[in-house]
Structure 1
Amino acid sequence: MVLVTGGTGLVGSHLLLHLIENGENVRAIYRNRDHIQKTKSLFELYKKGGLFEKINWLEADILDVPSLEIAFIGIEYVYHAAALISFDPKDENALRKTNIEGTANMVNFSLAKEVKKFCFVSSIAALGDLAPHETYITEETDWNPEKPHSDYAISKYGAEMEVWRALQEGLDIIILNPGVILGPIPKTKIFEHGSSELYIKVKNGLSFYTLGSTGFIVIKDVVRIAFELMKSDIKNERFTLIADNVVFRDVLNTIAEALKVKKPGIHAKPMFMNFLWIADWTFSTLFFQKRTITKATAKASYSKNLYSNEKIKTALGTVFLDVHQYIKEVSKL
């Protein structure tokens, strides 16, 4: 049996669908039963509602050791996709606890229960920092602790350290570092992070764009690659998953075209983005509101990071879906 964490999130729910479509016997854990509806809605969006009933749902929490004891009964393979995603500095402790301690619990149980293979869904945020002579960030790029990193990036890097530690203790592992994951454009707000936020902001009339860039990938590619790696003889490796390095303005324009709304027309330069996060910090501090833009997200919006996907292309011969074409196609769902 296969165990999936984060089954009510974007990656986890698509993993569940892909696994079931490929004949796997799947168990998914949840903390809040109401959140299972999000996964059911996702299955229905793809007109695969009948497959949803094949999931073995179990109430458990990656931070609750007794519940994991039950969740791991009969488990041979694990896809660990559960994580807290936040760039608000106020969530530092929660990020470290969920992403690092939770991952430690998962690999410890995998070791104790002699799981055959463990797949950890990390992030390109946990990859290294370019040296002056380097152009592309790869799986081998060194992490520089002297450079600034978001609390989210640090928590994912710390989680990876737990997975590498488990490797040293005898667990076969795969680590995936996906870029910004593009999912479907739901008629209702199913998921709260990543591409869903981009779609919603553009639909609501986003005025500003930036010329920063990062790696993007389609959700179908993420889960397909995860499944292929887990089924292969490849083990104890880390893979950067991006289809292409894309300028944020271009992604926003494609979304606007797909949704038939006005494209963002104002170039938000770095100085303006820095002003925005300072203003947002001031407002959130005075009125006890949740941050909408932070120093980390402002910097990311104009940074021009380039990531290499050569390793996964060599390992599996992967051909990625075009992110712009995907956005156009899912707008019709």
Structure 2
Amino acid sequence: MILVTGGTGLVGSHLLLDLVKNGEKPRAIYRTQESLKAVKNVFSYTNSSQETEHLFNRIEWVKADITDIPSLTKVFENVDYVYHCAALVSFDTSKDAELRKVNIEGTANVVNFCIKNEINKLCFVSSIATFDLKPGEKEITEASFWNKELNHNMYAITKYGAEMEVWRASQEGVPVVIVNPGVIIGPGFWNNGSGKIFKKVDSGLDHYFPKTTGFVGVWDVVKSMRELMASSVKNEQYIVISENHSFKEIFSLTAKALQKPAPGKKLKKWMVLMGWVWQEASGIFSDKEKQLDRRSQKSLFEHRFYSAEKLKAELDFQFEPVSEVIERTAKSYRKDKTT
């Protein structure tokens, strides 16, 4: 039995589609009935309505929460393989405690059940945010370890903490693999993560920030996870990025795919600071989640380059070009916009 946590998110939903298309009958965790609609929508991009229902019904859905230990007891019955995709992503400092609870404590709970049930293998979806550039380095690799002396946002801190829990599982006899994707691009979740890029560009985006980082299609993230779980590889982690790009380039590629004008004005640091000040002030009178914390401001102007050579070499892995990923995602965006 295969278990997927975070099955109603971007990576989890695309992973489930890949699993059921390949004959598996996985078990997946969900928290609300509403969240299941997004999974069906992801399935519908490449399947008829009848086939979507058929594939969706191959999944055994269990209502549970990784932060609720009693609810996980039934979830782990007869489970052999676990894909741990569940996580909270937020840069709102008011959610720091929740980030710790979900990303660290939740992962610790998953790990404890994996150990107790002596599962065959655990795959954890982490982030490139857990790597730090060493002095003199130009490119970040799996050997670019976390530097606790640097100032990190809480999301990065909690993903690193989650990795420590997963490595604990490896010490307790559970074979593990960790994937560290860059910014994941893929369809289905237009109000979260990279999905917001498509909405923003479509509605008209004037400014861009100069940050450079690694990008990857959700399909390649899923492919890497599946291949690593099927391999003899254990107790290793892999950076999963297709290409390094500036956000200006990503915005331009997205604009081209959506046939919209690309943003041409570069954000200045003072603009970001003023935006943060306004966000903090308006937050006093509003419950709207903050999009940027002060710790993350600097990162908007950083240029970080990541290498996925380890994954390419060990699995002979071929990545889909980011331009093609954006074209595929834009096609689904247009479909959702017209339905």
Q: TM-score range by the shorter chain?
A: over 0.9
1:22 partnered with 2:22: yes
Deviates more, 1:227-236 or 1:321-330: 321-330
- 1:103 is aligned to 107
Contact 1:281 1:294 in 2 (8 A): no
- 2:40 is aligned to 40
- 1:163 is aligned to 166
- 2:263 is aligned to 264
Q: Provide the rounded CA distance (Å) in 2 between the counterparts of 1:307 and 1:161.
A: 21
Q: What is the DSSP-based 3-state SS (H/G/I as helix, E as strand, rest coil) of the residue aligned with 1:332?
A: helix
- 1:277 is aligned to 276
RMSD: 1.4
Contact 2:198 2:330 in 1 (8 A): no
- 2:337 is aligned to none
Q: Provide the rounded CA distance (Å) in 2 between the counterparts of 1:37 and 1:45.
A: 13
Q: What is the DSSP-based 3-state SS (H/G/I as helix, E as strand, rest coil) of the residue aligned with 1:313?
A: helix
The percentage of counterpart residues that share the same residue type is 45
- 2:227 is aligned to 228
Q: Provide the rounded CA distance (Å) in 2 between the counterparts of 1:56 and 1:233.
A: 27
Deviates more, 1:228-237 or 1:46-55: 46-55
- 1:125 is aligned to 129
Deviates more, 1:129-138 or 1:78-87: 129-138
In the TM superposition, 1:1-333 aligns within 5 A as 1-47=1-47, 48-49=51-52, 50-127=54-131, 129-184=132-187, 186=188, 190-333=189-332
Deviates more, 1:104-113 or 1:268-277: 268-277
Q: What is the CA deviation profile of residues 72-131 of structure 1, one whole-angstrom value per residue up to 9, with x for unaligned ones?
A: 11100000000011011111000000000000000110011110000000111112x222
Deviation, structure 1 residue 295: 2.3
2:146 partner amino acid: W
2:234 partner amino acid: K
Deviation, structure 1 residue 173: 0.3
How many residues matched? Answer: 328
Structure 1 runs not aligned, ≥5 long: none
Contact 1:274 1:299 in 2 (8 A): no
Deviates more, 1:279-288 or 1:301-310: 279-288
Deviation, structure 1 residue 275: 2.8
Q: What is the CA deviation profile of residues 34-60 of structure 1, one whole-angstrom value per residue up to 9, with x for unaligned ones?
A: 211110111012215131111111111
Deviation, structure 1 residue 286: 4.7
Q: Provide the rounded CA distance (Å) in 1 between the counterparts of 2:90 and 2:330.
A: 26
1:306 partner amino acid: F
Deviation, structure 1 residue 280: 1.7
Q: Provide the rounded CA distance (Å) in 1 between the counterparts of 2:288 and 2:60.
A: 38
TM-score, normalising length from structure 1?
0.95
Q: Provide the rounded CA distance (Å) in 2 between the counterparts of 1:11 and 1:315.
A: 22
Contact 1:213 1:303 in 2 (8 A): yes
Deviates more, 1:283-292 or 1:59-68: 283-292
Structure 2 runs not aligned, ≥5 long: 333-339
2:151 partner amino acid: P
Q: What is the CA deviation profile of residues 123-158 of structure 1, one whole-angstrom value per residue up to 9, with x for unaligned ones?
A: 11112x222211111111121111100000000000
Q: Provide the rounded CA distance (Å) in 2 between the counterparts of 1:317 and 1:52.
A: 31
1:283 partner amino acid: S
